[in-house]
A and B are shown apart, each in its own frame.
Chain A
Amino acid sequence: MAKTSNYVPQDSPLDRMDPRAKIYAIFCLGIAAIIFPYYQFSYLIVIGLFIAAGIAKLLKKFTKFMLAFAIPILIMLIFIQGFYSPKNVTIIADCGFAKLGLEGVEYALKIVGSLLVFLGSFYLMTTTTYTGRLVAALVDSGMNMKVGYLVLACLNVVPQMQRRMLIIQEAQAARGVDTQGTFFSRLKAYIPLLGPVVMSSFTDAQERGMTLETRGFGVKNVKPTTFVEAKKRTSDRVVQILLVVFLVATIAATVFLKFA
């Protein structure tokens, strides 16, 4: 069965943190990493993320994810930008077929660094946040219930449809649809397999709409409540303020470095 989210329930400070504070973290840390002129800075933040992952008891999973992303893209980008970036002036190595330029390598490191900050913090948020709580928090902050419905429904509907797909594969195989063979015979099997999913989805959509309507979906002039609690604690507010302060400080430092 397909997984519906990355969330791993753990008893940790990161798990208890309000989802909104984590969203602040993604943006504040990410933007800071992008604007600061030296690429080393983003790697410092990445180290910080590793510490956070350790606190969240997810160090192993996090490391695996970060390495699986960082290594291939680093190699690709150093190859692409290092050898072929038009900005290259300082040559640090000559490999015969092309010359490796310092500016390109630094640019590659900068991109990868910023991406790692964004992806790492995003990943940490998804692994430490129950999606229901994230939506509850956003609804609490004034987000429309309909948007909340869409995010949660997508996460829940897809695995359901994937299970359905397996049954349809069996049903169509029993009607002689072969999923082996040449490219064209496999392509030909695509419609008998996807078709029933699409067609029956419409009946499903209609009935699910009925269900939502009878559950008071989209009632106007009512402030909806959620079963899952979403309350900001003082510590969450402190974290948010610290993150904003960090971003402001980085901006100040960047400006200072540029003009001084």
Chain B
Amino acid sequence: MNDTILEVKDLSFRYRGAKRKAFQHISFDVRKGEFFCIVGANGSGKSTLCNALVGLIPFYFEGRMKGDVFINGKNTKESSIAELSSEIGLVFQNPFNQLSYTAGTVEEELAYGLGNKGIPREEMKKRVAKVAKMMRIDHIINKNPLELSGGQVQRVAFGSTFIMEPEILVLDECTTQLDPLGSEEIFDIVKDLNKNGITVIMVDHDMERVARCANRILVLEDGNQVAIDTPEKIFGNPDMVAHQIDVPDYVSICQELKNRGLFKGEVEVEEEPTIQAVKEALKV
């Protein structure tokens, strides 16, 4: 569990023409199978960092990059986005911008990336069937992706990314545009994938969710790395509010209980333990 799969070393980036850097001096590593979250206010550089992890920086966006990203010990600079796609995959916010716009059906959409890589049709069909089942879209496999709901399209986008068989998934606010039900469906899938050993790096605004899922959290503010630690440590630290981090209600409740001497140990970050803690406190 402790082998590093991704390593970021003193990474900085400035877009061409931009006055200030999108982020600077970022260093962290992610372990194999970890659920790693990145949080921070809008404009703090989270999305740009995600782009740098998957190789879109420096290969797609124009600008200046300093520092390195290693995936399985290989420097991304010496690779290409297409090669990286079978090691690290990205899913971002707008589902409809993650379609290739070349497919008349969901299965063609899923297969598109494989086609570009010249994977034989037999293999393609096998992988499409497998991924469709995993993403729970096997019932809409013959539908036109453009006629699906946002939640369904996002699952198709997940499938198209995952079909390249990456070991790491980078999720950049991938449920922001979905309704609660659609988001839940996506997160069920993400949790399953993570259980099966896929490393997940996630950016999200819902701190309850981040607290629940994350093994570790990286906090960004104005492009700077502020902290990197477990959810309990991050949210249990009162200074975090100053870094524009929303604290989950569970944590606030625990802290109030702590103030009254009714709760000991680290803060809780999930619903059930919090309820238990409150019940315990009622008895004291």
Could you give, for residues 225-259 of chain A, a 1 whenever the CB lies within 8 Å of some chain B CB and a 0 otherwise? Answer: 11111000000000000000000000000000000
- Cβ-defined partner of A213 (8 Å) among B59, B124, B160: B59
Q: A204-B97, A224-B115, A228-B108 are in contact. Are A213 and B103 (CB under 8 A)?
A: no
Contact A207 B108 (CB under 8 A): no
Chain A residues with CB below 8 A from B120, complex form:
225
Closest to B96 in A: A160
Asked if A216 and B85 sit within 8 Å, CB to CB, the answer is: yes
B177 to chain A, nearest CB (A): 12
The smallest beta-carbon distance between B21 and chain A, in angstroms, is 19
Task: Tell me the complex Cα distance, A153–B54, Å.
Answer: 24
**Cα(A50)–Cα(B90), bound, Å:** 51
B98 contacts A by Cβ under 8 Å = yes
Shortest C-beta distance, A160 to chain B (Å), equals 6
Least Cβ–Cβ distance between A226 and chain B, in angstroms: 5
In whole Å, how far is A78's beta carbon from the nearest beta carbon of chain B? Answer: 42
Q: Would you call B124 and A152 a contact (CB within 8 A)?
A: no
Closest Cβ of chain A: how far from B160's Cβ, in Å?
Answer: 7
Assess the A208–B97 pair: CB atoms within 8 A: yes
Which B residues are CB-close (under 8 A) to A175? none
Q: When A and B form their complex, what is the total count of cross-chain residue pairs whose Cβ atoms lie within 8 Å? A: 116
A-contact bits for B71-102, CB 8 A (1 contact / 0 none)? 00000000011101100011010101111111
Q: Report the minimal beta-carbon distance from B119 to chain A, rounded to whole angstroms.
A: 6
B94, B98, B116, B146: most-surrounded residue (chain A CB, <10 A):
B116
- A223-B100 in contact (CB<8A): no
A216–B113 Cα distance when bound, in Å, is 6
Q: Give the chain A neighbours of B114 by CB distance below 8 A.
A: 225, 227
> For the complex, what is the distance from the CA of A149 to the CA of B113, rounded to whole Å?
12
Q: Would you list which residues of chain A between 192 and 222 have a CB under 8 Å from chain B?
A: 204, 207-219, 222
Q: Are A130 and B104 in contact (CB under 8 A)?
A: yes
Q: Is the interface of A mostly helix, strand, loop or mixed?
A: helix
Given A210-B56, A227-B124, A216:B94 Cβ within 8 A: no
**What chain B residues lie within 8 Å of A223 (beta carbons)?**
118
The contact string, 1 if C-beta is below 8 Å from chain B, for chain A 9-29, is 000000000000000000000
Q: A225 touching B81 by the CB < 8 A rule?
A: no
| Complex CA distance for A224 and B114, rounded to whole angstroms | 8
Q: Is B28 an interface residue (CB 8 A)?
A: no
- Contact of B19 with A by CB under 8 A: no
| Residue of A153, A223, A228 with most partner-chain B CB within 10 A | A228
Binary interface encoding of chain B residues 103-123 relative to chain A, with 1 for a CB under 8 A from any of its CBs, else 0: 110011001111111111100
Interface residues of A (CB under 8 A from B): 130-132, 135, 145, 148-149, 152-153, 156-157, 159-160, 204, 207-219, 222-229
Query: 28 A-B contacts, Cβ less than 8 Å apart?
Result: A132-B102, A135-B102, A148-B102, A149-B100, A149-B101, A149-B102, A152-B102, A157-B101, A204-B97, A208-B97, A208-B101, A210-B90, A211-B100, A213-B81, A213-B82, A214-B81, A214-B85, A215-B100, A218-B82, A218-B116, A219-B117, A224-B115, A224-B117, A225-B121, A227-B107, A227-B112, A227-B121, A229-B121
Q: A149-B101, A214-B81, A225-B114 are in contact. List 20 more A-B contacts (CB 8 A).
A: A148-B102, A152-B102, A152-B103, A156-B103, A156-B146, A208-B101, A211-B100, A213-B56, A213-B60, A213-B81, A215-B113, A215-B116, A215-B164, A216-B113, A216-B116, A216-B164, A217-B116, A222-B117, A222-B118, A224-B118
